[in-house]
Amino acid sequence: MKKNYQPYRKSGFFVFAAISLLSLVIVLLLLAQKLYKANAAYAAVFEKNLELEKEIKAQKGENQDLQEEIAELSTKTALAGLAVKGTQLSDQQGSPLVLRGLSSHGIAWYPEYTNYRLLKTWKDYGANVFRVAMYVEQNDGYLEEPELNKKLMYSAIENSLAAGLYTIVDWHVLRDEDPNRHIDEALALFEEIAAHYGDEPGIIYEICNEPNGKTTYKDIKNYANQVIPVIRKYAPDAVILVGTPRFCTTLSEAIEDPIDYPNIMYTYHYYAGVSDCKFAMKEISEALEQGLPVFVSEWGLDSYEVTEEHLTETKNFLDFLKQKQISWVNWSLCNKDEGYSLIAPDINKLYGWEQHELTDTGRFVLQYLSLETD
């Protein structure tokens, strides 16, 4: 019997199969393309994540290094408290402590020479004290620019302390001659600084640089008896330096009538070729014999007029100070075109100088500091 089937159309089946297969291939190709793009994007993200992880690790390393540096700095720069025992500057345990270092020039004129790296350079050279000189009456001094000078003072103090240096706050009387002339401003400034740094053992207060003209020791003592209590309110144990008549070159009246406060020292200034070396050593010796503590807050050597005689006198004077364990500060750390500057006037580097970039005075001070620390 003949079966009643529809004719089998092979050609139609093959066409359908081919179209289906082609569609499947296209779909697979599209999927492969998307997968490739996804893999590429993932690879890019993965690579970026690896770079980010490296950056994070590097940053963590830098942060760790910074934290260690801060910790090390905090440990290294912690300064012991000071006291005056008899005629000797001492630490709080009574052990003699001699300070040797540098003074700024006027901070309103040469503020760049109070930066941290500069001070750290001199600390590495052997200095352990930095004097911040703030002029009172000169151009751009405190009277003309009080806020600017205070900002510069704070910046210099912070840099000096961070470098591990004892720091002298110097009310730089000069043209004004008598410190009583601007006593109200002095009282306000020292009260602010002492209130801010009352607990800081590394701060020394120099309340009047170089009284001169007709200023008598009685004038100076009257001024000191008003300023010292203001500082003592906040810094009861701080060492205070008091200027003496005739540009800090005579101590005889202070010997006869010393100021009745503890932790007070009297300043003496010495400049080769200007000062009489024998007189200076005799004056200081007599003061020490009479129990008067002395601090040489300025000495200088003029590079432009230096002679063998000046060099010999200066060496003799510094050797005398070493023998007597008297602290000293050299004038001045800047590149001003004058003989007393430590840095040559054509040198603009602010730290890390070569020997030839210093003046003759700068090289002399550097050599002496190095010898003292050997």
- In this structure, the number of other CB atoms found within 10 A of the CB of residue 286 comes to 13
Q: For the CA atoms of 214, 219, 223, 224, what is the dihedral angle to 10 degrees?
A: 110
User: Annotated active-site positions, please?
Assistant: 210, 298
CA distances from 62 to 24, 50, 281 (A): 56, 18, 53
Half-sphere exposure for 329 (CA within 13 Å, toward CB): 31
Query: Residue 59, by phi and psi: left (phi above 0), alpha (psi -120 to 50) or beta?
Result: alpha
Of 69, 71, 76, 82, the residue nearest 164 (C-alpha): 76
Amino acid at 235: A
Backbone angles phi, psi at 61, to 5 degrees: -65, -45
**In contact, 243 and 179? CB cutoff 8 Å:** yes
